[in-house]
Structure 1
Amino acid sequence: MDVEASRFISSYLRGALGVGRQVLSRAARLALDIALPTLCVSCREPVDGEGVCAACWARLSFIERPYCPRLGIPFVYDPGPDMLSMEAIASPPAYQRARTAVRYDDVARALVHALKYQDRTDLAPAMGRWMARAGSELLAGADMLVPVPLHWRRAWRRRYNQSGALARIIERQSGVKMRGEVLRRVRATEQQIGLSRAQRATNVQGAFQVSPDRQAEVQGRRIILIDDVLTSGATLDACARALLRAKAAQVDVLVFARVVEIR
């Protein structure tokens, strides 16, 4: 047998083996889906649909008006048009406006953790649709969506960026293009969980940068940062500052859930 024939046979066998593995993998996943019904991420009851049962969906606290026009923080009563929250007056962020789909309660926490840590990317479509609805006024004038980036080491361990998964759904809903390569996390940071507000701000200081070869794409553009949760806002503020240093015209924020202090 000549060398060319040997190479052809070897290549053919490798290709056939690869196809066989894909077929087996799909069959295994299908069998698992049939054997194990989808469970609600919150109450663990079997559910048809997108990962949350009707009872737990009803427990989600969607953020509706009235809310602070700057930060999107819900008001207990309607204070009138253009009234800002105390947080927006006392400590305005670098970004212009923030909008959020739901309060960060038990059900929202279960959804976020399942998407972020349990490979439940099937939850992203519903979460992204709710975000697109909450951020409709921001999306109407936006030029691009920029997901908050992970450091490459964390992205390698997690295998995907949950903010990017949400941004892709919002892109489909709104038509505003996602630009995941624009912003980079150039320094690994500690987990923000357990840190004070001041510690969170210090932790992410200087951690984000617009890629040098992408700065022209940012200049003069109206950008929406996409993330899963807004707690203190330190990470989103650091991202907004990096984009504004690169001459973005305006930066807004759209997240799935935010921590709302009960007063």
Structure 2
Amino acid sequence: MAWAGLQTALQLIYPPRCLTCGGMVESDFGLCGPCWRDTPFIGGLICDLCGTPLPGVDDGVAVHCDDCMTTERPWQQGRAALLYRDAGRRLVLSLKHGDRHDVVRPAAKWMAQAVRPLLREDTLIAPVPLHWSRMARRRFNQSALLATALARETGRKTCPDLLLRTTRTRSLEGLTRDARFAMLTGSIRAHPQHGASIEGRSVLLVDDVMTSGATLAAAAEACHASRAREVCVIALARVANQP
């Protein structure tokens, strides 16, 4: 009773606010009606490899988008919770550059809903790693925060340092798809202490945004090099054109 009373008092002093616009909402970690409508959640027919929404009706048959038909993906299946535009883009940027860690909890719930069909009993959840120098500057890896919350949401194990970024690469912004893949090839490997954890396991890789898929591809190849049974991927947001 005392805890319930404290929660009520805190809500009176600090009422729940919308994650996007700051307006009043009924519960913590929520979106108001207008922001919910403006958040581009992905649903319906999607690409089975990257989660991009596609025109048509989902009849249970796996289909692939143009990008995934022309670019080899070193993973089995992939999903994304949001499109990287409008409120979806603002949420990702607020987490990545605005220290808005309150975005992590609802984001993990959205990602869990999207990726649940891909989970196995032995799925090990791991984030795409940051290079140590970038980690020192940013102070946190947003993908690791998402991976930890997603593991908690789905009841699966997680290993935040399963992979290492061994090469510091320049920003990928503005680079072509081919340049992104060329720069990231071989830049990620399994942590020497955790390589045995990958062998024979199903691994789910987590990233905040998927653009070309080059970073996830480098991470997936590192998992395969350590003999993962299968690799799947999940991103909070996918850069894609509307269907």
TM (normalized to structure 2)? 0.86
- Helix, strand or coil: the match of 2:158? coil
Judge conservation of contact 1:51–1:122 (CA < 8 Å) in 2: no
Give the number of the structure whose residues are more often helix, by fraction. 1
Which moves more between the two structures, 133-142 or 77-86? 77-86
Deviation track 1:46-79 (CA, whole Å, cap 9, x = no partner) reads 6563264331122112111211223322111127
Instruction: Specify which of 133, 138, 142 is matched with residue 162 of structure 1.
Output: 142
Tell me the C-alpha RMSD between the 2 structures. Answer: 2.2
Where in structure 2 are the equivalents of 1:143-158 lying within 5 Å?
143-158=123-138
Q: What is the match of residue 185 of structure 1?
A: 165
Distance of aligned partners of 1:90 and 1:218 in 2 relative to their CA distance in 1, 3 Å threshold: same
Judge conservation of contact 1:149–1:161 (CA < 8 Å) in 2: yes
Distance across 2 between alignment mates of 1:262 and 1:175: 33
Aligned partner of 1:58: which letter? Answer: R
Instruction: Specify which of 81, 102, 106 is matched with residue 126 of structure 1.
Output: 106
Q: What is the match of residue 59 of structure 1?
A: 38
Q: What is the match of residue 64 of structure 2?
A: 84
Judge conservation of contact 2:80–2:234 (CA < 8 Å) in 1: yes
Q: Which runs of 5+ in 2 are unaligned?
A: 1-10
Deviation track 1:140-190 (CA, whole Å, cap 9, x = no partner) reads 445200101111111111111111111111111111111112100011111
Instruction: Specify which of 31, 52, 56 is matched with residue 73 of structure 1.
Output: 52
Where in structure 2 are the equivalents of 1:156-235 lying within 5 Å?
156-235=136-215
Aligned residues: 231
- Helix, strand or coil: the match of 1:135? helix
Return the index of the structure with the highest Cα Rg: 1
Deviation track 1:107-147 (CA, whole Å, cap 9, x = no partner) reads 11111111111111111000011000100011244520010
Could you tell me the percent identity over the aligned residues? 35
Distance across 2 between alignment mates of 1:258 and 1:101: 8
Distance of aligned partners of 1:120 and 1:78 in 2 relative to their CA distance in 1, 3 Å threshold: same
Distance across 2 between alignment mates of 1:69 and 1:151: 29
Deviation track 1:76-124 (CA, whole Å, cap 9, x = no partner) reads 1127523333333222311111111111111111111111111111110
- Helix, strand or coil: the match of 1:212? coil
Distance across 2 between alignment mates of 1:92 and 1:231: 14
Aligned partner of 1:228: which letter? Answer: D
- Helix, strand or coil: the match of 1:188? coil
Distance of aligned partners of 1:192 and 1:35 in 2 relative to their CA distance in 1, 3 Å threshold: farther
Aligned partner of 1:133: which letter? Answer: Q
**1:109 and 2:113 aligned:** no
Judge conservation of contact 2:120–2:202 (CA < 8 Å) in 1: no
Q: Which runs of 5+ in 1 are unaligned?
A: 1-32
Shift of 1:193: 1.6
Shift of 1:256: 0.7
